[in-house]
Amino acid sequence: MIKDWTKEEILDVYNTPLLELIAKAAEVHKTHHKTGEVQVSSLLSIKTGGCPEDCAYCPQAARYNTEVKVHKLMDVAEVSACADNAKAGGASRMCLGAAWREVRDNRDFEKVLDMVKTINSKGLEVCATLGMVTEDQAKRLAEAGLYAYNHNLDTSEENYNNIITTRNYDDRLNTLKNVRKAGLTVCSGGIIGMGESVNDRVGMLYTLSLLRPQPESVPINALVAVEGTPMEEQPPVPIWDMVRMIATARIVLPKTAVRLSAGRLSMSMEGQALCFLAGANSIFAGDKLLTTPNPEYNQDMEMFNILGLTPKKAFADKLKEELV
């Protein structure tokens, strides 16, 4: 049985002296995961920019003046070629991202279902992040072969309205519920470095830790401060905060894949090594996230060699039953 954490307990974990916290998290990691194995996911922006939402961190929101160029939904053949490249590069999962508020039941959705089928048939786990979905849409994605759905809580319930006003926390939780009901695996995490308090970081982990089953995957993003967004002046988040956040996530979500997500380009190899030691066991690889740069693939493989990490194979048994 997974423990029901209180916010106070999670705060105590977060505030543990750093080296002790890393050691504790490493212990939990060893108990529940193959240490040294890291899931490598490739990201592809299938529809870029022009989004109606007002997420303060996001370069794809239409209302901010960023350098992102709007691009309509990609063609299935193009996406298929990208999947071949990702597979050849060693990725076991491919995540498709669309700058949509929500999925609509139209031809674009049919096209996305086709993309999912095509990538799935190549033996890659397919993940999608398309905004809000209904239970019916989630079911159709599952039938097409989708493995996971990414939908981030991003921050605490209390802080949500300071970051996004065009939807609320319950909308987010509701989509996560729909995704679960459709039998998909859940990927949900958030961002640090947006000016949130430690209580907000803890609050987000608290909500994620209480989901039953707990999410199979939790991405922890360090804000990529993009010019033209309201967050452009945010100072870079200290690596120590990232390590603390990952270690705390590892402890309160023992069986989950914790993903060291956006922001790695500004982290040293030593910093990332501490994140892996603290329980991170998943990354996005490839020189682009959705619209911002990410380390070169070869650079990451060199890091894996130095640290003795190996990429995880696709389709490990679903952990869902154990996450209850």
What is the chain's percent helix, strand, coil content, to nearest 5? 40, 20, 40
Residues 200 and 205: their CA atoms lie apart, in Å, by 9
Residue 224 interacts with ligand SAM (CB under 6 A): yes or no:
yes
Q: Classify 131 in phi/psi space as left (phi over 0), alpha (psi -120 to 50) or beta.
A: left
Residue 99 interacts with ligand SAM (CB under 6 A): yes or no:
yes
Judge whether 51 counts as a catalytic residue: yes
Residue 46 interacts with ligand SAM (CB under 6 A): yes or no:
no
Pick the catalytic residue from 55, 82, 264, 275.
55
Q: Which of 39, 42, 92, 129 binds ligand DTB (CB under 6 A)?
A: 129
| Residue 38 burial (CB count, 10 A) | 25
Q: Per-residue x/- mask for ligand SF4, residues 100 to 119, rule CB under 6 A? A: -x------------------
Residues 201 and 221: their CA atoms lie apart, in Å, by 12
**Amino acid identity, residue 200?**
D
The one segment of 83-91, 94-102, 139-147, 238-246 that binds ligand SAM by CB under 6 A: 94-102
Pick the catalytic residue from 82, 95, 172, 180.
95
Q: Which of 148, 179, 262, 277 binds ligand SAM (CB under 6 A)?
A: 262
**Strands in 29-176 per DSSP E:** 37-47, 93-98, 125-129, 148-150
Beta bridge partners of 308: none
DSSP 153: -
Q: Which of residues 50-89 bind ligand SF4 (CB under 6 A)?
A: 51, 53, 55, 58, 60-61
Residue 22 interacts with ligand SF4 (CB under 6 A): yes or no:
no
Pick the catalytic residue from 93, 127, 201, 250.
127
Reduced 3-state DSSP string for 221-245: EECCCCCCCCCCCCCCCCHHHHHHH
What is the contact surface with ligand DTB in residues (CB under 6 A)? 43, 59, 95, 97, 129, 150, 152, 189, 219, 221, 224, 261-262, 289-292
What is the contact surface with ligand SAM in residues (CB under 6 A)? 57-58, 60, 97, 99-100, 129, 131, 151-152, 154, 191, 221, 223-224, 226, 262, 290
